[in-house]
Amino acid sequence: MCYVKEQSWVVTGSWDTSIVFWDLRSSQRSLTIDNIKKKIFNLSHKNTLLVCTLDNKHFRWYDLRNVNQSMTDCMSAFQTQLRGLDCIPNEDGFAVGSVEGRIQIRYINKDVQDKRGFSFKCHRHESKSSHTTYSYKSESDIYSVNTLRFNQQFGTLASGGSDGELPVVAMDFNHTGRILAYATSYDYSRGYDRDALDKEKPNIYKQKICISDTNVLQTMFPFNFFFSFENAISSTFYIERLIFLKLPTLLYA
């Protein structure tokens, strides 16, 4: 689900294989896209760009100025389910994650994608036991990327995964980009687990972002990434294994 401020739309995607645009001024449907024929897992929007991920490991994007005539469908580079999606702030493309501990940066323009598109591994740890959450031709414990969010002020990317003591399942920055709110709960990565459900109850936290603690790389990427913060909590957020959270403040339990 996402909100399109310019048209006062709430856009919802569902496992019923449709995308519906709801007009908040009238509580009525403004538009329905019902020819997708695949379950919709994620939606993200920035200005005129709307992107969704599907259960066949494809993603689609639409130009909101002409939704019915502007669909593009593309296969992802990942072999497993897509999870986590957010558009780049300048709407040139988007970031998408997967349950195999990877993130892909995908650009809308094919020439730009060929030059700058890339993917990288994340939310992985060296295996210390015979049990791994997910392992594919690897000696690492591989965890799902559950949520992605670009900082609108600084163009940085945050990822939340299942590799902490408490899985991070959702997050967002405030309008200044200086506060990050995120939610933790059991994510069913181990199936139904009564002990995990009792231990990993839903909580919401907020975190102040300390810009002075960051090390920004400007030459490697077309937009900046924060690469380090101090005093990380056990529910880890990081890019390329480097953590960037300090101890949180509990908002809701």
How many structural domains comprise the chain? 1
For residue 214, give the nearest of 237, 182, 191 by alpha carbon.
Answer: 237
Residue 18 falls inside a structural domain: no
For residue 246, give the nearest of 212, 207, 216 by alpha carbon.
Answer: 207
Residue 47 falls inside a structural domain: no
Residue 240 falls inside a structural domain: yes
Residue 245 falls inside a structural domain: yes
Q: Could you tell me which residues are beta bridge partners of residue 40?
A: 54
- Strand, coil or helix: 196: helix
Measuring CA to CA, how many Å separate 38 from each of 41, 63, 74? Answer: 9, 20, 13
Check residue 250 and give its pLDDT: 42
Check residue 231 and give its pLDDT: 32
Residues 6+ apart with CB under 8 A from 71: 60, 61, 62
Check residue 196 and give its pLDDT: 75
Check residue 133 and give its pLDDT: 52
pLDDT tens across the length of the chain (253 residues): 898 888 888 999 999 999 999 998 887 888 899 889 899 999 999 999 999 999 999 999 999 988 887 788 999 989 899 989 999 988 899 999 999 999 999 999 999 999 999 999 888 887 765 544 554 555 678 888 999 998 887 778 888 888 877 788 899 999 888 888 888 888 887 778 777 778 878 889 888 876 554 443 332 333 333 333 333 333 334 433 333 333 344 443 3
- Does the pTM of the predicted model rise above 0.85? no
For residue 55, give the nearest of 93, 98, 22, 110 by alpha carbon.
Answer: 98
For residue 252, give both structure tokens.
């809701």
**What's the CATH code of the domain at 107?**
2.130.10.10
Question: How many helices and strands (H and E) does the chain possess?
Answer: 2, 22
Residue 45 falls inside a structural domain: no
Residues 6+ apart with CB under 8 A from 66: none
Residue 216 falls inside a structural domain: yes
Residue 13 falls inside a structural domain: no
Asked if residue 166 lies in contact with residue 200, where contact means CB atoms within 8 angstroms, the answer is yes
Range of the domain at 233: 76-252
